[in-house]
């Protein structure tokens, strides 16, 4: 049963539907629907019951007068100080205001929306101890399209304090927000949407800021983008096989069966699907007995990236359905305990692993580009030029090598980079997960550019090979890429930015899917990561 206290329809909703938050089963696809498609959010009645029971525990502990971190004590190294009972509400509001830094680049409204929906779901888990009114404030603002202005304030990944505080500021009528395309004060944005600021009670200030909202919200969107990116690289690699006259023995299903990594099997299946009806399946079509490893190891390398993505996705979906708070309310025990559930090292490590895997995919794409441009390997004119002595597309090899180098730098782990002694040495450990998410997003941008380069080069090589019969999927890709990649590069340079935008906007995937049907999701909601089915 959805919560009827949620007011109004989201003015941004364009077919996004409704997402019901239970605290237990939020998937990345639903975060994307809320963040990017304006889906309306409601909270289930069962979740609201848990929230009320947890709040009853908070009130009970308050009456007993037990010291509880961040509720009636200071935070961090100031936890040794008690807050008088009559100052608890003021302390909650002050805690929010004092943690804003007003510094750093602004995040997009879609990231803010993702932060808000993941935080509401975490509160709905029941271990936070807030009132249902605070959930209402979040949900009403989200559905009304009130988007707090959030800056990247320098979170070290042990709760995104500054970023979450800027959302909290708006909910209590302070800060800044965007509403219907206009920047205004938080109070004005709430008033324009017909909403009232919330007055915080004990523990609610800490609950607003002590959450990994930027890591989970932004990270969910980045994982969705990586899933699309893997589809794109399957397409680019498949077209490169045809452009190179490659040997398709590497995608033989028996190779994957005898080495049963789930990702390798998935990569082989997808490549065969994209290359269905290709000239390369004819006996003797392959130019080499064995191609360079950047071709021969595509299923294995792409497969490793699928598996890394599945691991990161699984880790994220545990986090966005968890109570990542400290202190934690135990409803059955009627107690509040100090814990480390805000520690998201698991996510930081997962994103570090994912970037390494994406960098390997980018490396293979770069090497295939170089092989296309090098006559010794391709059997075509150097640079895929139309005439001897012309440059052709040879300069793209330098661009590709530069991008691959950037990807390698971004692949370096961030989860080991914390060396701080914050809060007088109390907070001597941190995940750096927000930085890992941002670096992964940068990696996606670089990878899209190198995919555009490979598609351009491969399309040119297909032209020079006399346009042989292409696979069903690769033929569709070739048709789209040809709009951006000129037949004679000496006369008209390829529109690489336009092609990169087509990749980022999903047009390449949609164009291919229109011919072969939707590509199977990289990972299915709730799918376990384990051995491939035999």
Q: Is the pLDDT of residue 449 over 80?
A: yes
* Domain annotation covers residue 12: no
pLDDT tens-digit readout, 129-185: 999 999 999 999 999 999 999 998 778 878 888 999 999 999 999 999 999 999 999
CA distance 194 to 188: 10
E strands, 149-196, are 176-179, 182-185
CATH at 455: 1.20.200.10
* Domain annotation covers residue 527: no
| Total domains in the fold of the chain | 2
Whether residues 32 and 144 share a domain: the answer is yes
What's the whole-number mean pLDDT along residues 371-380?
96
What's the whole-number mean pLDDT along residues 196-224?
95
- Residues β-bridged to residue 183: 178
Mean pLDDT, the chain, integer:
91
Whether residues 86 and 133 share a domain: the answer is yes
* Domain annotation covers residue 526: no
Q: In what order do the strands lie in the sheet with 176-179?
A: 146-148, 176-179, 182-185
At residue 309's C-alpha, the angle toward residues 27 and 516, to 5°, is 85
Find tokens 């909202």 and name the residue. 213
CA distance 392 to 384: 6
Residue 531: its pLDDT value, please?
28
Residue 154: its pLDDT value, please?
76
Whether residues 175 and 262 share a domain: the answer is no
DSSP track, 51-113:
HHHHHHHHHHHHHHT---TTTTB-SGGGTTSBPPGGGHHHHHHHHHHHT----SPBPPHHHHH
Whether residues 159 and 307 share a domain: the answer is no
Please, what's the b/e burial string for 359-391 (b: 16 or more CB within 10 A of its CB; e: otherwise)? Answer: bbbbbbbbbbbbbbbeeebbebbbbbbbeeebe
Q: Which of these ranges, 66-75, 206-215, 274-283, 394-403, has the smallest mean pLDDT? A: 66-75
Q: What is the pTM of this model?
A: 0.93
Residue 14: its pLDDT value, please?
43
Residue 491: its pLDDT value, please?
63
Q: How confident is the model at residue 525 (pLDDT cuts 50, 70, 90)?
A: very low
Residue 29: its pLDDT value, please?
97
CA distance 351 to 357: 10
* Domain annotation covers residue 13: no
Whether residues 206 and 229 share a domain: the answer is no
Q: How confident is the model at residue 423 (pLDDT cuts 50, 70, 90)?
A: low
Residue % of the chain over a pLDDT of 70: 91
Whether residues 480 and 355 share a domain: the answer is yes
Whether residues 194 and 248 share a domain: the answer is no
Whether residues 158 and 185 share a domain: the answer is yes
Q: Is the pLDDT of residue 467 over 50?
A: yes
Whether residues 230 and 84 share a domain: the answer is no
CA distance 400 to 369: 8
pLDDT tens-digit readout, 272-325: 999 999 999 999 999 999 999 999 999 999 999 999 999 999 999 999 999 999
* Domain annotation covers residue 524: no
Q: Is the pLDDT of residue 217 over 50?
A: yes
**Tokens standing for 238?**
């498949």
| Domain end residue (candidates: 211, 237, 257) | 211
Whether residues 199 and 236 share a domain: the answer is no
Residue 70: its pLDDT value, please?
85
Residue 79: its pLDDT value, please?
81
What's the whole-number mean pLDDT along residues 468-481?
98
Q: How confident is the model at residue 522 (pLDDT cuts 50, 70, 90)?
A: low
* Domain annotation covers residue 532: no
| Domain end residue (candidates: 181, 211, 241) | 211
| Domain end residue (candidates: 211, 236, 253) | 211
pLDDT tens-digit readout, 87-125: 889 989 999 988 888 788 999 999 999 999 999 999 999
pLDDT tens-digit readout, 137-153: 999 999 999 999 999 87
127 is in which domain, residue-wise?
18-211
Whether residues 328 and 461 share a domain: the answer is yes
DSSP letter, residue 383:
G
CATH at 197: 1.10.275.10
* Domain annotation covers residue 529: no
* Domain annotation covers residue 75: yes
What's the whole-number mean pLDDT along residues 36-65?
96
pLDDT tens-digit readout, 234-274: 999 999 999 999 999 999 999 999 999 999 999 999 999 99
What's the whole-number mean pLDDT along residues 218-225?
98
Residue 80: its pLDDT value, please?
82
CA distance 71 to 67: 8
Q: How confident is the model at residue 420 (pLDDT cuts 50, 70, 90)?
A: low
Q: Which of these ranges, 67-76, 194-203, 449-458, has the smallest mean pLDDT? A: 67-76
Q: How confident is the model at residue 86 (pLDDT cuts 50, 70, 90)?
A: confident
Whether residues 207 and 232 share a domain: the answer is no
Q: Is the pLDDT of residue 461 over 80?
A: yes
């Amino acid at each position: 049963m959805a919560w009827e206290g949620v007011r109004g329809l989201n003015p941004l909703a364009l077919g996004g539907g409704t997402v019901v938050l239970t605290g237990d089963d939020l998937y990345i696809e639903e975060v994307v629907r809320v963040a990017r498609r304006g889906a309306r959010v409601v909270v289930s009645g069962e979740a609201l019951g848990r929230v009320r029971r947890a709040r009853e525990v908070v009130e009970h502990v308050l009456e007993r007068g037990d010291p509880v971190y961040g509720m009636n004590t200071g935070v961090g190294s100031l936890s040794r100080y008690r807050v008088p009972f009559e100052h608890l509400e003021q302390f909650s509001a002050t805690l929010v205001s004092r943690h804003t830094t007003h510094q750093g680049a602004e995040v997009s409204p879609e990231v803010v929306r993702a932060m808000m929906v993941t935080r509401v779901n975490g509160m709905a888990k029941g271990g936070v101890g807030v009132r249902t009114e605070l959930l209402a404030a979040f949900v009403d603002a989200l559905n009304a399209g009130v988007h707090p202005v959030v800056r990247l304030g320098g979170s070290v990944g042990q709760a995104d304090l500054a970023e979450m505080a800027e959302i909290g500021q708006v909910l209590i009528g302070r800060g800044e927000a965007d509403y219907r395309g206009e920047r205004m004060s938080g109070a004005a944005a709430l008033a324009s949407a017909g909403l009232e600021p919330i007055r915080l009670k004990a523990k609610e200030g800490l609950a607003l800021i002590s959450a990994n909202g930027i890591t989970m919200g932004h990270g969910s969107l980045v994982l969705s983008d990586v899933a699309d990116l893997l589809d794109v690289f399957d397409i680019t690699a498949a077209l490169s096989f045809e452009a190179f006259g490659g040997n398709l023995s590497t995608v033989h299903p028996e190779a994957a069966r005898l080495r049963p990594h789930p990702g390798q099997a998935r990569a082989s299946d997808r490549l065969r699907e994209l290359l269905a009806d290709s000239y390369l399946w004819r006996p003797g079509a392959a130019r080499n007995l064995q191609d360079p490893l950047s071709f021969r190891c595509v299923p294995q390398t792409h497969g490793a990236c699928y598996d890394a993505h599945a691991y990161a996705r699984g880790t994220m979906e545990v986090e966005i359905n968890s109570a990542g708070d400290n202190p934690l309310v135990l409803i059955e025990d009627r107690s509040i305990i100090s814990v480390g559930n805000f520690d998201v090292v698991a996510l930081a490590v997962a994103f570090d692993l994912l970037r390494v895997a994406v960098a390997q995919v980018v490396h293979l794409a770069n090497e295939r580009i170089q092989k296309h441009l090098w006559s010794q390997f391709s059997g075509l004119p150097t640079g895929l030029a139309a005439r001897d002595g012309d440059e052709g597309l040879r300069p793209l090899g330098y661009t590709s090598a530069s991008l691959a180098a950037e990807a390698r730098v971004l692949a370096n782990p961030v989860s080991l980079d914390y060396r701080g002694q914050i809060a007088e040495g109390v907070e001597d450990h941190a995940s750096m997960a927000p930085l890992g998410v941002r670096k992964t997003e940068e990696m996606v941008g670089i990878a899209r550019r190198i995919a555009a380069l490979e598609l351009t080069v491969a399309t040119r090589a297909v032209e020079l090979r006399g346009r042989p019969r292409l696979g069903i999927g690769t033929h569709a890709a070739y048709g789209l890429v040809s709009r951006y990649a000129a037949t004679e590069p000496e006369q008209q340079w390829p529109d690489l930015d336009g092609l990169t935008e087509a990749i980022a906007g999903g047009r390449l995937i949609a164009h291919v899917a229109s011919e072969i049907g939707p590509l199977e999701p990289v990972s299915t909601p709730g799918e376990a990561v384990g051995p491939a089915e035999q």
